[in-house]
Every structure is written in structure tokens, then in C-alpha cells.
Chain A
């Protein structure tokens, strides 16, 4: 089948797990014989192979005249953007940043305009939209082409902050309502979609992410520290539960000074976390790395003895899978979708820092325990491929085509 896929990022442009997930899924769909046209705001470079095209919306000429669908729809979905107040128009193209900056909602709007042109000119069988950023574009593409729309929910407004953004919630809800099928990255997310967005359960399908199988025997630096390294890797935001990691670190360090904690990543809570660590007088054993790029992530993992993901709300969470691949024992919160596919991971409630610190202490002090957790998880991982994910997606395509 020919798929018009709408996304916000694609490697090498990576901000969170979304780019990696899109790539993993696309590559496996291609292997299954599908064709994919992938539209995103701004591609680092446009790519084209036999059955794959990465289209940068920044390079698409805006439609010359208005149609009866696009602007009314956009006015309804995104009432706060005024199309006459355009900031980044250059000639007849809109210059997307593709970032998550202050113009985000405006870019979401203009992606809808761009897609209206493609929906008329390109041929495809199905529209597959990743997350709310592309849902307005997905809805417009469906209305113009009359092709089925599948929305793929990697995260919801409930996972992003304690305070729900009503504007985004409404866009998400409209996307799910209009869609023929809704794909959720875990049962946790499926439940939110049913309970909080009131979407018919029959329409929602859980599609777990996969993980790229890669060779871990590469030669990377190991730790320069004599102490064990416990790592938090991800955005330092409310949703990721960074303060619980610090709390657990404090408890472990009270008993065992032979360990260092690393918080790798950046985010809006970073400054606050640095402050908390200083107030708790943990700074000599607690380190912040800032944002890590791809190969730096690999190096960080190579140094790591225990990987912790204490997320408060994590729709899925690919990071622990990468840690398992790097042969590291992982501890994840029960509030992470990925826990559903890792029956042998060490699972704790995010707020239970007693259990979390105990597990960290156990993993750094008992070799057999770490070995078991690693071994059992690696076996699980072998069955958690993007090929499997693509199979579920494929059969969902079949069901609506």
C-alpha cells in the first residue's frame, strides 16, 4: 500500500523518541512492501529511495488558491492562529523550524495548509498521522482525499504536564474522532484514550513500539570512575519523574558511597533539579550531562551499571529498551507503557523511592541479580522488533482500506 505518513521529526533530527519510532516503523513497513511518503515540517535533508520519500514541508509551495475544506477546518481546529498574520513566509513557501518553539501551534497550522496541496496532487491509499502535531494535517488530508486516516498516539496531553493544555487536548480529540483507527503505543495510553478522550474502545488498537536490533559488542569507553554508575536518561521534565531519581539517589548514598548518579538530558526542570541536588548535598556523587547526542548516548550507556526510568506518565518509553540492548539492568516505573512488554524488568511505582533505592542498591551490590535482570530482559527484547510492530500496523491498514 501507498502511505502518506505525517510526522514532526525523522532521524537525524531527533528530539525525543518520536523520530526513532517513526524510522523504525517506516523501515519495517518498507520491508513489508509498503510505499511511504513521509511529510514533516523540516527535513535536515530530503531523502528518496525506491519506495520511500521524505518530504520537507518547508520546500513545498503553498497552494495558490483556497479550497472549501482547508481553512474552515483549520479555523475550527486551531482558532488561535490568524492566517493573515504570517511570520515565516518566504516567497510562496512557509519556512518551518520543525522545532518545538514558541511558533509551534502556528507551524501545526501551516502543515495543514501544505498537506492540502499534497493531498490533491499525490496518490496514496492511507493517511498515517503521528501525534497531535500532525492531526489537523491528517484530518484535512482525509477530507480532501477521502482516504482512511489512522492516527498514531505516542503521547497525550496527560503525559506532558500536570496541567492539561485544553487547546492540544481538543486537537487530539478531534483527530481521534475523525480517524478510522487510533493506534496507541501501550494499553496504558489506550486506556487514557478511552477514558479521557471518550473514544470508542473498538477503534483503538495497541501497537507496541519495537527496538532496532543492534550489535552491542562495539568497543566503547567504559567508565573512568571506580564507582558504579546509575543513569537517568531522558528529558528533564515533569513527566519523566526526575525528582524521584534524586530522592532514590539520596537514599542509596546514605548507605553506599560507592556509586555515582548521572542525570543525562535537558528540560525545563533541569535548573530546579540541580538546585535540589545541591541542597541535598549530593553534588559530589550526582552529575548532570546536559543533552546527549546519538553517539554520546551510546558512550553514556557503556559506562552505566544501572538504568532507571522513574516516569510519572510514560506512554511507552524506548530508552529502557536501548539500555537493555546495551546489556544494562533496567528499573522502570509501573506507569510506563514499556513495562507492559518487559515482564522481567524490575518494576516499581514512580513514587515508591524506597523500593527504587532498594533495587538500585541490590543491582549494584549483587552480581547475580544484575545478571538475571539483564539476561531475562534480553530474551524478551529479541521478540520486540519493529517487524512485529509493522505487522500490527499493516493489518490495521488492511482493516480500513
Chain B
């Protein structure tokens, strides 16, 4: 498993080398591998499907245009991609401080409807809502570490923070989620 992951990372870097040389086939393959992961992160961070679509597209266009700035071996390709997406999202937050109210309909219903039990669906809905009400930086930290599966150091790199600052955000986010989701879950029983 670990060696498969290492192979994937190595081949991601090989793809990036070809993308730097202007190879559109390599770019398409890189996008195929990472588009859903980047989109999932951005849809939960922005709380809007349409914004996430635009930002995902812009992320990959930047990858194409800025491919020459990627330094193989310094950061993983997936970390670099998420960092570009994260920065675009932060720029958008700065431009439009007042965000539209988030509703779960913004996340495609088929993703949520995969749940087959009512209670689990309710818990997940509460969790999605609780995540959406976290402050932006706490939301980004918990999504990167716990949903996207990045290690704390990588998530800190994506957010442009030091690891201690990231851990502080994670601690606050987890405390809030625990209080909002697990206590509600206990009450519901």
C-alpha cells in the first residue's frame, strides 16, 4: 500500500515534468487523478457547487500556466494542487466577505443519498452543517487533515501556516464539531 502510494507520487512528479514541457496528455492525466479530490475540498470550503467548479477549473489552469514553478521533491504534487486551490479560495473569500447562506442542496444529493440509514444520514447532515459553520481557517484545517487525508505538516504547507498554528486551528475545530455533532447524536438516542 505504502509502495503503491510512493509510486503514485513518483509518477505524479513525472507527469508534472511532462506538463512543464507543454504535454497536454500528461496534464489531462494529472487532472483525471486529482480533479475530484480538489473539487471535494473546494466545494466544502466554499459551500457552493458553482464556486467550487469555477475554482477547480482555475486551479488546473494555473497548474498549466505555472507548471515551471513546481519544484519536484520539495512538495508533493497533491499538496501543491491543494495549495493553489486553497489560495484561490482565500482570494475569493477576501473579495466577497459576505457569503451566501450554505444549504446542503449545494452538495449534490447523490453523494449524501449514498447513505442507507436514516440515523446515519441525519448525523452526516449535522456534521456537514457543523463543518459549514466553522470559521474558514478552521474549516480548511479540518477538511485537509480529516477529510482529504493530509498529514498536519502537509496541511500546514497548503495553508501557509506553521504546524503549531495549524494544530491550534484543528483543536478548536474538533472541539466545536464534537460539541455540535456528538452531543446532538447522544440527545437523539
A and B interact? no
| Interface, chain A (partner B; CB < 8 A) | none
| Interface, chain B (partner A; CB < 8 A) | none
